[in-house]
Structure 1
Amino acid sequence: MLKILPALTLALILPAQADSCPEPAILDAAYTQTGLHGFNDGLLAVKKDGLWGFVNREGRLAIAARFEETQGFSEGKAAVKLNGLWGIIDSNGKILVQPRYQNARRYFSGLLPVSKNGKDYLALDHHGRETELPRWDVRPDTPLHKFHTEDFSKIGYKDHNGNIVVAALYERGVNHFSEGMAAVRKNGLWGFIDAEGNERIAPRYTLPQGQWDISFSNGLAKVALDGKIAFIDKQGCTSLQQK
């Protein structure tokens, strides 16, 4: 017999108690935008007066806002744009590779995909050495796989053997797993389930403006609550919120 776990199982066992959560740190209202990738390497990209910098998990400025664009941190490095060109900085804001590239993607597996002189992308290490762009075989952690109802209106989850773990209760959306959790949507609001199909955080959030997905990174997920940006942990506690 297939074992179907009701979506509210864990929510009933381990409900997130708002009064048990510590007071969240405050994100200054002067930051008009935050990076789509959320926190990485303990840093969050923020925009102030048209330029990008980085704050830490307490909302304190760690790297001054002086960049025109950034791809956010990954593996302790971030691609940043200065004077119209891309280079690399470390988590202290030190420039490792001087900006000289027309385009850049996100730092990954020790390499930064960049392009210059209108040519195809090549790979750049943090010493500035250029090499051919490798063909990466990325296999994200996907403990459960989505399935949908016949009318495509709802989704559920199956394990690798095709057994239904979560009944088709949730609305369609981008629902991949990240750090053992997947965002799910019900009645237009977003919450999270774990890899066993238990609903860990009840749906109560909306998508931040300009964002098409919600996922955990560095233990925090970027959400919108009452129209304001917030970063929640895996217990549903708000760690950092917009002023």
Structure 2
Amino acid sequence: MIKKLTLGGLFIMSFTIISAQQLARVQEKGLVGFIKKDGTFQIEPKYKNAQDQSEGKIAIYEGGKWGFIDKNEHAIIPPQYENAKSFNQGMAMVKSMNGWLYIDSLGQEVPAISSKRVYEFNDGVAFFRDASNLVGLINSKQEVILSPTYDVIRPFKDGYARVAKNKRWGVIDKLGKEVVAPNYDDIGDFNAGLVWAKRQHNWYLVSSQKEIAIPAISKIERIENPDFIIVQQGNKVGFMTAEGKWVISPSYDDARDFQQGLAPVKKNGKWGFIDTTGKMLIPATYQDALSFSPEGLAAVKNGKWGFIDKDAKVIIPFQYEITAALTFKKQEKGFIDGLARVKLNGKWGFIDTKGNLLGNKWFDNAELFQN
């Protein structure tokens, strides 16, 4: 049962929003709850469904309707909606009997700008579409920050979004400013001031100031580190700088990004790790390998998944089925803030860097920790 928010609880709600504790959504026996980083339950599994915590609020499904609570289960907005999305910049999309609409953090309906449909807020902005089917941007105050201009705007990532106009792709920022003009047949995600782009069969590295043609290649991967961009030439991959110069020649079957000075590479069907000079420091003996985390551990597969350190010492035994986590964060796998989400015998849980199971407990499902 949801606890009602008293006047005294208003202070609690405000403090929660300011300093929201990280919680992970877990599922047990078909019911959803939330755990803290010490492995104990903040909210026992009791809801048929719930969204991840966002801005100190949790959308929960109770009694056939959706509403919002805080981490102490105080009712912020009582269950009354057919559906609900998470809060972003103080706004949430909810579905009433009359369709989708916006509400603020107090549950008050926010009159929406005229649009062919209502879009969820992402990175503090939302799309709106006019009668001619062009897309623009609004902020949380329903102010137009970009009039309908593009045929397509993809979701924002780290403040930038891919856009298309007349089937040509470019990049804009959250203010609607064109960072890269829509002059390309395809384009990647803008990161570290750079993006890959393609026109016909030609590939380019593009910043807001210049375009560098990269001849005789077949693919440019996503750009995480502008000093070591993964580029494919023929059926081999290597690493290139933002200036289009090879720093490690294309001699690998596959590769992943450099982290902690090492990058996983695949050669002759096996994975190992090279340093920034291209020297193989950890021999290619694994079935799969992921980049090192800030904790100094990398997930590698040898039948099952385990974790090694930079000296190739096995720190956490090979016993897990998967280390992936579904998220929009850049780092999707392995350790995140000292914990890794893992699967064992069909159950999900979190382990620390010593392999200890958080709370000594497995769940039917578990998502990443969120503020």
TM-score by length of 1: 0.57
Matched with 2:4 is none
2:300 paired residue among 187, 194, 203: 203
Q: Indicate how the Cα distance of structure 1 residues 216 and 104 shifts in structure 2: closer, same or farther if over 3 A, else same.
A: farther
| Match of residue 128 from structure 1 | 107
Structure 1 residue 84 corresponds to structure 2 residue 68: no
| Aligned-partner Cα distance in 2 for 1:171–1:236 | 29
- Who is 1:222 aligned against? 341
Cα distance in structure 1, aligned partners of 2:356 and 2:247: 28
- Note closer, same or farther for the CA distance 1:226–1:83 as it changes in structure 2 (3 Å cut): closer
1:88–1:149 CA distance, 2 compared to 1 (3 A): same
Higher mean Cα deviation, 96-105 or 138-147?
A: 138-147
* 1:95 partnered with 2:114: no
Answer with 1 or 2: which has the greater Rg: 2
Residue 291 of structure 2 is aligned to residue 192 of structure 1 = yes
Aligned 8 A contact 1:77 1:91 in 2 = yes
Whole-angstrom CA distance in 1 between matches of 2:50 and 2:30: 12
Separation (CA, whole Å) in 2 of partners of 1:77 and 1:166: 47
1:82-103 CA distance string (max 9 Å, x none)? 1222111111121211111222
Counterpart of 1:66, as a letter, is K
What code does the residue aligned with 1:128 have? G
Kept in 1: contact 2:57–2:69 (CA 8 A)? yes
Residue 139 in structure 1 maps to residue 119 in structure 2: no
Contact 1:68 1:83 survives alignment (8 Å): no
The aligned residue for residue 24 of structure 2 is 44
Percent of pairs with identical residues: 24
RMSD: 4.4
Structure-2 residue corresponding to 1:107: 87
Unaligned runs of 5+ in 1: 1-39
Question: AA paired with 1:124?
Answer: I
Letter in structure 2 aligned against 1:51: L
How far residue 115 of structure 1 moved from its aligned partner, in angstroms, is 2.0
Structure 2 residue runs of 5 or longer lacking an equivalent are: 1-19, 113-120, 127-138, 140-155, 160-189, 193-223, 266-270, 272-285, 306-320, 363-371
Using the size of structure 2 for normalisation, the TM-score is 0.40
How far apart are residue 63 of structure 1 and its match?
0.9
Question: Which position in structure 2 is the counterpart of 1:23?
Answer: none
Alignment partner, residue 231 of structure 1: 350
Secondary structure at the counterpart of residue 149 of structure 1: strand
1:79 CA drift (Å): 1.2
- For the residue of structure 2 that corresponds to 1:80, the secondary structure is strand
Q: How many residues align?
A: 193
The alpha-carbon deviation at position 113 of structure 1 amounts to 2.0
In structure 2, do the counterparts of structure 1 residues 231 and 160 end up closer, same or farther at CA, with 3 Å as the change threshold? farther
What is residue 46 of structure 2 aligned with on the other side? 66
Query: In the alignment, what sits opposite 2:143?
Result: none
